[in-house]
């Protein structure tokens, strides 16, 4: 494994296209790329506010003309696939194959490489995308991330309103700080392809946590006695649909809550790539406590 602990000292300065750039992880990646002096272009669905040093392309990953424009002059792509169906990715793959950038794909540690079918539609589409990228001859660097700590931002309104967080149960996993995933991703983006293996690199936090564990850590950071209440599937479905979430996404989330198995995998891959150990969820909760007040 190459020394990627300080990519800022490397003369390699690729032009990088970031997808999902306005999300919790994407924002962290863009910040770090700018700090390292990289040329950054972001493909976004809606026009973002001006940001010095960042070029914005407004469009959709399923629109070949937009993707073609976004890829001009690009050396590397950080790819997040936002849909539950990989069939819509074929035009994207064709454009990537023509432009031939490095592709760094954010996947999921929940993939079971031995299974013919995955546990739920969310994991299945990641497995399908990995296969399609390889079949297209793109040699993607695959970063399989565990559950991101930033997902708990979905509980902000409940925490502000009371002491109970209600949600469907979820598999226990080694929840990983999105800042650590961003550090690892940027290290890969700023390392020459011939100096790094394609993975999959399994990015996890240092300890396996349930949702109840996360709520307890968040309560400790807020100095409050918070508790987690697991919702039955029917009630969770009703609430998510009432909140305006698309029905296919709701069904995928319910299926994941019912069928995705616990994971006990903890790796040192964040440290190998980013040069520092993965941080704890407790630390994340302290650093982000103000968001929940």
What's the 3-state SS for 66-129? Answer: HHHHHHCCCCEEEECCCCCCHHHHHHHHHHHHHHCCEEEEEEECCCCCCCCCCCCHHHHHHHHH
Q: 3-class DSSP state for residue 256?
A: helix
What count of residues does the chain have? Answer: 293
Q: What is the DSSP letter of 45?
A: S
Beta strands in 129-189 (DSSP E): 141-145, 164-168
CA distances to 48, 79, 204 from 141, in Å: 28, 10, 17
Residue extents of the structural domains in the chain: 13-145+178-204+265-278
Q: Residue 67, Cα to own-chain centre: how many angstroms?
A: 20
Beta-bridge partner residues of 76:
16, 102
Angle of helix 64-71 relative to helix 90-99, nearest 10 degrees, comes to 30
pLDDT of amino acid 14: 85
Taken in order 216, 222, 223, 225, the sign of the CA dihedral is negative
pLDDT of amino acid 11: 54
pLDDT of amino acid 285: 98
212 neighbors 184 (Cβ within 8 angstroms)? no
Q: The domain at 13-145+178-204+265-278 falls in which architecture?
A: 3-Layer(aba) Sandwich (3.40)
Global pTM value: 0.93
pLDDT of amino acid 52: 82
pLDDT of amino acid 221: 98
CA distances to 9, 79, 134, 245, 273 from 190, in Å: 10, 15, 21, 36, 11
Q: Are strands 102-108 and 141-145 parallel, antiparallel or unpaired?
A: parallel
Nearest-angstrom CA–CA distance, 182 and 106: 11
pLDDT of amino acid 12: 63
30: left (phi over 0), alpha (psi -120 to 50) or beta: alpha
Residue 114 burial (CB < 10 Å; 0-12/13-18/19+)?
A: exposed
| 239 phi/psi in degrees, rounded to 5 | -65, -45
The segments of the chain whose pLDDT lies below 70 read 1-12, 48-50, 194
pLDDT of amino acid 192: 77
Q: In what order do the strands lie in the sheet with 76-79?
A: 54-58, 39-44, 15-19, 76-79, 102-108, 141-145, 201-203
Nearest-angstrom CA–CA distance, 101 and 79: 11
């Amino acid at each position: 494994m190459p020394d990627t602990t300080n990519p800022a000292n490397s003369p390699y300065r690729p032009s990088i296209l970031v997808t999902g750039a306005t999300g919790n992880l994407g924002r962290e990646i863009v910040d770090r790329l700018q700090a390292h002096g990289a040329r950054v272009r972001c493909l976004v669905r809606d026009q973002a506010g001006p940001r010095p040093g960042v070029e914005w392309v407004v469009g959709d990953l399923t629109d070949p003309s937009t993707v073609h424009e976004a890829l001009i002059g690009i050396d590397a792509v950080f790819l997040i696939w936002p849909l539950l169906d990989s069939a819509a990715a074929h035009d994207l793959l064709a454009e990537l194959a023509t432009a031939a950038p490095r592709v760094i794909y954010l996947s999921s540690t929940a993939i079971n490489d031995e299974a013919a079918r995955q546990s739920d539609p969310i994991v299945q589409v990641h497995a399908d995308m990995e296969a399609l990228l390889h079949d297209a001859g793109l040699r993607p660097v695959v970063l399989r991330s565990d559950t991101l700590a930033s997902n708990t931002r979905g509980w902000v309104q409940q925490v502000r309103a009371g002491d109970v967080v209600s949600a469907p149960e979820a598999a226990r996993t080694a929840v990983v700080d999105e800042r650590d995933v961003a550090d690892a991703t940027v290290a890969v983006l700023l390392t020459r392809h011939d100096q790094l293996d394609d993975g999959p690199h399994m990015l996890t936090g240092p300890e396996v946590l349930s949702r109840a564990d996360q709520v307890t850590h968040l309560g400790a950071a807020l100095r409050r006695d918070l508790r987690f209440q697991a919702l039955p599937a029917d009630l969770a479905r009703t609430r998510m649909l009432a909140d305006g979430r698309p029905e296919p996404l709701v069904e995928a989330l319910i299926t994941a809550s019912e069928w995705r198995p616990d994971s006990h995998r903890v790796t040192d891959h964040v440290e190998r790539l980013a040069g520092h150990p993965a941080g704890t969820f407790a630390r994340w909760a302290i650093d982000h406590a103000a968001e929940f007040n």
